[in-house]
Amino acid sequence: MNRIFNKADYMVEDMLKGFLEANKDIVAPTENPRVLKYKQAPIPGKTGVVTGGGSGHKPAFIGYIGMNLCDAVAAGEIFSSPTAAAFLDAFKAADAGNGVACLYGNYAGDNMNVRIAVRKAKALGITVKTVVANDDCASAPKDQAEKRRGVAGEILMWKVGGAKAAMGADLDQVIAAAQKAIDNTRSVGIGTAPCTIPAVGHPNFIIEDGTMEVGIGHHGEPGIKIEPLKSADGIAEEMLDLILPDLPYVSGDEVVVLLSGLGATPVMEQYIVYKKAAQILEDRGISVYKSYVGNYFTSLDMMGVTLTLMKLDEELKECIDLPVNAVGLKQF
Amino acid sequence: MNRIFNKADYMVEDMLKGFLEANKDIVAPTENPRVLKYKQAPIPGKTGVVTGGGSGHKPAFIGYIGMNLCDAVAAGEIFSSPTAAAFLDAFKAADAGNGVACLYGNYAGDNMNVRIAVRKAKALGITVKTVVANDDCASAPKDQAEKRRGVAGEILMWKVGGAKAAMGADLDQVIAAAQKAIDNTRSVGIGTAPCTIPAVGHPNFIIEDGTMEVGIGHHGEPGIKIEPLKSADGIAEEMLDLILPDLPYVSGDEVVVLLSGLGATPVMEQYIVYKKAAQILEDRGISVYKSYVGNYFTSLDMMGVTLTLMKLDEELKECIDLPVNAVGLKQF
């Protein structure tokens, strides 16, 4: 393994310190070393927006702290949920007295810790409501959507929720918009090489050379099938064959497309996949309103890509258009 | 190899098409498929700014097309210089009648092709002047600076040259500022795992597992030594031990720090290295005016990091502060 760190047990602490040092213009520390906040937060009069998740997904989650985006983020160990205490401290850091929207991903640990933190926040007089992202349409059948994981679609949920809050919406309106965002969003991932958690020192799952795993999760959760590695065009087709019928996305729809690398796949290759995906969407009469291509939600050094579509209406478009200034997402 | 493409020979074409499709709000095609331009270029009254280089370094080079940055970029094959014809067409795309600053890196192919293109441009009545980046202080001794390669420091040269041009400077002033930028800039790279050109199918150089190559180039050019892999702190120290004495950077200096991953090294690890680098600079009395950490100049799926410092004066600070809106660099 040729990875760069000091002590494996201190990687998250070291990373958070470096991140704070490098991005003082946007983020600030809190009393909890596992909680970072937007330097302006809490913003008087604004509904707070919080997320949190395991580390190793950069720029997620802390890279989405910023102007018109998240106010505070709780960081867990690599690929592990933040603690309930960290979620609670993130709520405190984000709350300006108007309540907090906690927009996070559907994983057992996160669900449990958010639930505890919401209860404790209530006891402190902080109202927290939640939206649980479940955009990974390969992670469970459609009729078991409550079992589906949240993946890169979370970014669009944060973008919408953050924008809505910045535009002056109250907590219920922010929650409704973020829920609509994720309800309109579907993602799928394809892995072409596994990742290695430095403390483990070798991949904790296998993707054989020359194969790809369709529907793989952000932590190497098993996908729905393993196939010989396809071309970029074949991968774009396979991902859209899973995504399009699931909502479904149909002719006349306007969508945001988010194509993210999983970490070690060169961005060059992501654009090659995007080219075909855009072509297929055009052929189907689906119009791309905005696209994001790059490493937006990664899994350490995993290889592969995820594709995410969000169907738009006027409210969602307005939210997507609002400028943001975060480390991981800047938009004029 | 678990890489994603269609035909290896068409990777650059496919990537450029996908890039154009995804980033229509910033970039536009030209008649030459290997030349992209800022959608506003040529900008009346402004000195044109052009660069170019081999592909596989995303977001370099095309990701630095945009507002207050480069007007046009020539793209070569993976790790190969653009043709003279592509450089010439980039000059044409950028020129608004005020001449063009061609700010590129010191490689034999680029030097030759730029020289030919400048001569042909002159025959067409387009004045082109050049600055050749040579910031890689591990690539040749200081007294042979003309042999040094250009690496991630090119980004700071483009930032300064692009800003100066946007602020209304004439060609000679843009050239002088860009030359000062690169003269004040030093970089060094450390590789921890090699990269694979898809058409080759296996790494075309070796970095043994558990070792690192100090001073490695962006295409796997040999460094100055191979050592057992150090900690993140050790890597930060080793890079600064090469960079600081070379200019030299001394107590009281203000600098921009650019820490880039080489492609497959997780951004998390880059922040761990940055933390130590920032600490060392503080201990030496060198003040960090601005820092950039992330995948700013990569080499396909190579692992490792590069560190770049630029010493600032008031003119350079003003240029660094100017907002930019490009795919690879957005700054409010």
DSSP secondary structure of B283-312: HTT-EEEEEEEE-SS--TTBEEEEEEEEE-
Average pLDDT, chain A: 97
Range 186-245 of A in CB contact (< 8 A) with B: 192-193, 207, 209-212, 229, 231-233, 235
Average pLDDT over residues B166-184: 98
Q: Among partner residues B19, B209, B301, which is closest to A271 by beta-carbon distance? A: B19
- All domains of chain A, ordered by start, with CATH? 9-184 (3.40.50.10440), 185-319 (3.30.1180.20)
What was the pLDDT predicted at A204?
84
Say whether A332 and B331 touch across the interface (CB within 8 A). no
Q: Given a cut of 80, is residue A1 above it in pLDDT?
A: no
Residues of B in contact with A209 (CB under 8 A): 1-2
Q: What is the C-alpha separation between B48 and B50, in angstroms, rounded?
A: 7
Average pLDDT over residues B177-199: 97
SS3 B266: coil
Is B1 in CB contact (< 8 Å) with chain A?
yes
Please indicate whether residue A57 is annotated as part of the active site.
yes
Say whether A4 and B273 touch across the interface (CB within 8 A). yes
pLDDT in tens, A231-276: 999 999 999 999 999 999 999 999 999 999 999 999 999 999 999 9
SS (H, E, C) chain A: CCCCCCCHHHHHHHHHHHHHHHCCCCEEECCCCCEEEECCCCCCCCCEEEEEEEECCCCCCHHHEEECCECEEEEEEECCCCCHHHHHHHHHHHCCCCCEEEEEECCHHHHHHHHHHHHHHHHCCCCEEEEEECCECCCCCHHHHHHCCCCCHHHHHHHHHHHHHHCCCCHHHHHHHHHHHHHCEEEEEEEEECCCCCCCCCCCCCCCCCEEEECCCCCCCCCCEEEECCCHHHHHHHHHHHHCCCCCCCCCCEEEEEEEECECCCHHHHHHHHHHHHHHHHHCCCEEEEEEEECCCCCCCEEEEEEEEEECCHHHHHHHHCCEEECCCEEC
Q: Given a cut of 80, is residue A206 above it in pLDDT?
A: yes
Question: Dmax over Cα atoms in chain A, in whole Å?
Answer: 55
What percentage of residues in chain B have a pLDDT greater than 70?
100
What was the pLDDT predicted at B1?
77
What was the pLDDT predicted at B204?
84
Type of residue at B111 = N
Average pLDDT over residues B189-199: 96
Q: Given a cut of 90, is residue B245 above it in pLDDT?
A: yes
Average pLDDT over residues A280-295: 98
Q: What is the C-alpha separation between B137 and B60, in angstroms, rounded?
A: 20
What percentage of residues in chain B have a pLDDT greater than 90?
99
What was the pLDDT predicted at A329?
98
pLDDT in tens, A18-47: 999 999 999 999 999 999 999 999 999 999
Q: What is the C-alpha separation between B11 and B8, in angstroms, rounded?
A: 5
Say whether A301 and B265 touch across the interface (CB within 8 A). yes
Q: Which of A34, A37, A57, A218 is catalytic?
A: A57
Average pLDDT over residues B158-167: 98
CA distances for A182 relative to A102, A238, B234, angstroms: 13, 22, 43
Is A17 in CB contact (< 8 Å) with chain B?
yes
State ipTM: 0.98
Q: What is the C-alpha separation between A93 and A100, in angstroms, rounded?
A: 10
pLDDT in tens, B295-306: 999 999 999 999
Termini Cα distance of chain B: 39
Average pLDDT over residues B37-58: 98
Number of Cβ within 10 Å of residue B123's Cβ equals: 8
Average pLDDT over residues A184-199: 97
Average pLDDT over residues B147-168: 98
Q: How far is A146 from chain B (nearest CA, A)?
A: 31
Residues of B in contact with A332 (CB under 8 A): 325, 330, 332
Average pLDDT over residues B18-26: 98
Average pLDDT over residues A216-224: 96
pLDDT in tens, B75-108: 999 999 999 999 999 999 999 999 999 999 999 9
